[in-house]
Amino acid sequence: MPVGAIEPDQVHLPEVYVNRIVKAEDTTKRVEFATVSTGGTPEIPGKGESKIKRERIVRRASQELKDGMYVNLGIGIPTLCSNFLAPGVDITLQSENGILGLGPFPLAADLDPDLINAGK
């Protein structure tokens, strides 16, 4: 939306309360657990029958995603749905921390600790 299209009195945001500020000694940005892509076909976790069942669930759930949707897929199996979209289906993913336009897992070289979702 263009700047000024919404009246300031119509915008409602939670207030922020600051009780203290602590200077950090170590400001190195870390990724707690990195999930990266190998650049190949996405892999369904698991083995044997459980892997077959997971893939069936993921493939079926991905059929519910229609072109143009904005989707928050959550953690775990739902996250995999975007890897099995029908040809021509383009969706916009939203992560749990509000990032719109989330894409596939990055290659290790493209890992950015400032852009991470709850699925790591």
Query: 92 and 116 in contact (C-beta within 8 Å)?
Result: no
Rounded distance, CA 81 to CA 58, Å? 5
In tens, the pLDDT along 48-99 reads 999 999 899 989 989 999 999 988 877 777 778 888 888 899 988 887 767 7
Domain coordinates in residue numbering, the chain: 45-115
In tens, the pLDDT along 25-34 reads 988 888 888 8
Q: Which is the catalytic residue, given 25, 43, 49, 96?
A: 96
H helices, E strands: number in the chain: 2, 3
pTM comes to: 0.57
Classify residue 106 by its DSSP letter: P
The secondary structure element, H or E, covering residue 71 is strand 70-71
Tell me, what amino acid is at 54? Answer: R
Query: 78 and 99 in contact (C-beta within 8 Å)?
Result: no
Is 96 tagged catalytic? yes
